[in-house]
Amino acid sequence: MPKYEYTARYLTVRMLFKRSYPHLLLLAIFMPIFTKAQDIDSLMRVEADTFISNLPKGLQQKQKSAIKSAINGNTAALRRVRNSRNAEAELSTGVKATYLNHSMRLYEIENDTTTLPLLIYLHGGGWTFGSINSCSRFCDAIAASGAARVLAIDYSLAPESPFPAALNDCTAALEYAHTNAAILKTTPALISIGGDSAGGNLSVAAALQCGHLPVRSLILFYPVTKAYADGSKSWNKYGHGYGLDADLMTEFNKAYTIRSTPYNPLISISLAKTETLAKLPPTLLVAAGRDILRDQGKEFADRLPGIVRRVEFPGAVHLFITVPGQPTAFKKAVELSINCLSKY
């Protein structure tokens, strides 16, 4: 409902009920807001249900088998999975994307020389697939808003390059951005980092690893915060049929931690000490309500002692950032990100 309709309803009811029925006045003011929120939640749920029903049958089983084979040394099937998720989104009018090197792509408005915030963005994919292309739709949307430039990163993938290879690539990108801030038309004080799923995990780990460098904010979408089966309510309830199955997540975890332990706090970031987490910058965490990672993400957000905004889309499922099919959740996530980049 447009803002002026809220105002009109408020003024009308205010004259009738100001003195005798103050509780009705409050109800009349806030009911449109609640109704709108419920409508958005319902729409997200419908879109998510349609998205799930349209996923190819056996897709996650195929992905799981490919990762298992790759762990055992045969990467052919996993390469095919990676290639199938490697399409670049069409750019918005006026946006250009420039490769700075083989693993970094800068999204910005053409011919804009303004000093802007910079978001370093790390794609999801369970540390095993996904690419600089799979997050291109989100990077384009942020850049098109004019609120920030986006530096998308291609990092090393497991199981061929397990922990800490991806993290090292991401910390190198953060260091690059600070060293080359002027070239990127930003300043070190305006650099944020974010990502979805495994990319959200890497964003936090990189910020922790590079504690000597200022990070303005963290923007996280349904991040992995525990690289093991956490046994939570959401893990058990949404472990099959909601966009990210528990057994596939287990293979992701195995591939990434093949030479380490999942209990390393730079892998399972929820296990970091409170005094370590206190060093993190203001954080936006956007969760999907029907997602196995929902509860571990909430636990992580609850442990952060700094400025934290956690937003949950109750009806949404995993993947709304990188895979088309949940447009309302995607649009709202972009809006929240722009607000965060403009505020912090």
Task: Return the active site residues.
Answer: 197, 291, 318
DSSP string, 148-214: -EEEEE----TTTS-TTHHHHHHHHHHHHHHHTTTTTTS-GGGEEEEEETHHHHHHHHHHHHTTTS-
CA atoms within 13 Å, Cβ hemisphere of 143? 28
Chain-centroid distance of CA 228 in Å reads 19
Can you tell me the distance from the alpha carbon of 309 to that of 286, in angstroms, rounded to the nearest whole number?
Answer: 8
Can you tell me the distance from the alpha carbon of 226 to that of 71, in angstroms, rounded to the nearest whole number?
Answer: 20
Can you tell me the distance from the alpha carbon of 147 to that of 340, in angstroms, rounded to the nearest whole number?
Answer: 10
Can you tell me the distance from the alpha carbon of 159 to that of 187, in angstroms, rounded to the nearest whole number?
Answer: 35
Encode burial over 251-285: b for 16+ CB neighbours within 10 A, e otherwise: bbbbbbbeeeebebebbbbbbbeeeebeebbbbbb
Q: Quick check: bond before 32 cis, omega within 30?
A: no
Count of Cβ atoms closer than 10 Å to residue 45 Cβ: 20
Count of Cβ atoms closer than 10 Å to residue 99 Cβ: 12
Can you tell me the distance from the alpha carbon of 205 to that of 170, in angstroms, rounded to the nearest whole number?
Answer: 9
Instruction: Give me 149's structure tokens.
Output: 């430039």
Strands of 218-221's sheet in order across: 95-101, 104-109, 149-153, 118-122, 191-196, 218-221, 283-290, 308-317
